[in-house]
Structure 1
């Protein structure tokens, strides 16, 4: 499974957050697309509409397990996708901003 370190992500990289709604509401990366893994198959079209046609999809969850499953599925669909190693826990620990939908400071649940 292709992975990328949080430290290697650039601010304009496309990020897909597959955590559940309560996790997202607590805090997420600004600009990420949120499609919970439990709704992913039904909402797959949202990703194909939002993702850059010639870019990579960086998939993130809390620690990397769920996002690895989604990244593998996307690769099987012919999409350039990678798992963000360590997920939002590493994102937060690295000092990357975690925000709520209201733009306030959030946290990783």
Structure 2
């Protein structure tokens, strides 16, 4: 019997460590913060200091980000609601990253709690 995407997320969440938004807030500045949403989602707002590597290219691009490339890097991952982050955390563990946590509730919950966010600076061509 085929499984659903929801089943994949539930399975992933059983294999990873999740932290609350309160816990994630205390980890800012202590971990590399990875936003695995698409660029347009990231551009609309993101956690302070977050680096954007969309879920679809994470395994290929993480090694290109100096802060996140070392396998002993401490990572905090999030997405919109926590599904993509959970799947990402599992894959990063498979790639040898040992210190990965995922933020439960994702950016939606973070925003609803009116926590600090940032937006990328627009490109100035002048």
Gap regions ≥5 residues in structure 1: 104-109
Contact 1:16 1:32 in 2 (8 A): yes
Moved over 3 A (4+): 52-55
Structure 1 SS opposite 2:107: helix
SS at match of 1:45: helix
Match of 1:30 in 2: 48
The answer on 1:70 being equivalent to 2:88 is yes
- Partner residue of 2:10? none
TM-score calculated relative to the size of structure 2: 0.72
Cross-structure match for 1:91: 110
More helix by share: 2
Bigger RCO (CA 8 Å, 6+ sep): 1
Which residue among 7, 19, 37 is the counterpart of 1:19? 37
- Distance (whole Å) between structure 2 residues aligned to residue 46 and residue 60 of structure 1: 19
Partner deviation per Cα, 1:69-89 (whole Å, 9 max, x = no partner): 111111122211111101101
- Greater Rg, structure 1 or structure 2? 2
Note if contact 2:39-2:54 (Cα within 8 Å) is conserved in structure 1.
yes
Give the structure 2 partner of residue 40 of structure 1. 58
1:14 and 1:52 in contact (8 A); partners too: no
Residues of 2 paired with 1:31 and 1:52: CA distance?
Answer: 16
Task: State the Cα RMSD in Å.
Answer: 1.9
Q: Deviations over 1:21-46 (max 9, x none)?
A: 11011111121111011221221212
Paired positions, count:
102
